[in-house]
Amino acid sequence: MNRLANRSILALGVFLLSACTTVDYDFSDVKKSRNSMQQMAQPSGAVNAPRFGDRKPFEWTGRTPWHYPIHGTDVSKYQVDVDWNAVRRSGISFVFIKATEGGDRFDDRFTEHWNGAKQAGIPRSAYHFYYFCRPAIEQARWYIQNVPRDPNALPPVLDMEWNASSPSCKLRPNAVVVRKEMKIFLDAVEKHYGKRPIIYTTVDFFDENDLNQMREYPFWLRSTAGHPTEKYGPHPWTFWQYTGTGTIPGIKGDADINVFAGSAGAWKKWLESNKVR
C-alpha cells in the first residue's frame, strides 16, 4: 500500500478505538496517579482505574464500579496478616478500618491495620459499628477513647445497619429514635475530630429509617446488586461498597471493595478538604 493509504488506515483505527471508550477519565489525573504509585508513602496519591477479581461477580448494567477510578476496601479483625504494601500496589486508594462496637468492644486488629495502612501510604478511616442497646453518647465516648485524632486521617464513620445475629440485642427502635441517636453520636465525634463524619448503611436500613433526611452527611452506601441510583434513588453518595466477595492482592480470602464517587482530581480535593490544620 502507498503512504497515503497507510495514513488513512491508521487514522481510521484511532477513531474506532476512541469510539469504543466508555470511561471519561481526566488523563491529567492519570499521569499524576501513576507517579504517586511509585511514592508509596504519599497518602494523597490515587491509583487509576483498578480492576479486581470477584469470587461471585455481579452482572452489572449501566454505570459499573470500574467506571470510577478510585477504589478502596474495608477491614476488621477477620482480615489477618494483611500485606498493606501489596494492597496499595494493587490499586487500593483508601481503607475503612473497624475500630469499635457498642460501648465496650474494640476490634482486635484495629491498631495493626491502622498503623499498617499508614506505613503503606493508604489514607484510612476508623469506623464504629452501632449497638442499639446502648446510648449513643456512650458509644461516641468509647470511639473517641480508642481512635487517635490524626489530622490527616479520613473522617470517622458510623456504621448503621440491623444486626440480626446479635446474641445480646434484638432491639429495633423506630426511625425517629434511630435518627436522633445517630445525630448524638455524629455531633460528639465531629466536635472531637473536627471533621464531618460519614454514614455507612444498607438499603433496608436506609429505607426503614428514612435516612434521606440526613443529607447533610456524606454517605457510604452498600449496594452489591445494582448501582446506588437503582437502590437509593437520587440520594447523594460519596462511597459505594459494591462487593463483599472481591479479591485483593495482600488480603487473604474475600474482601469488601468500594469506590469513591468522583474523579482522581475530585479525590485529591476531597482528601485535602478533610485535613485538620
- Write out the catalytic residue numbers: 74, 161
Decide the pairing of beta strands 255-260 and 239-247.
antiparallel
Place of cell 465525634: 189
C-alpha–C-alpha distance, residues 44 and 42, integer Å: 6
Place of cell 498493606: 84
Give the three cell numbers for residue 19. 469510539
Which among 248, 221, 200 has a CA at the least distance from the CA of 72? Answer: 248
What pairs with residue 58 in β-bridges? none
C-alpha–C-alpha distance, residues 182 and 187, integer Å: 8
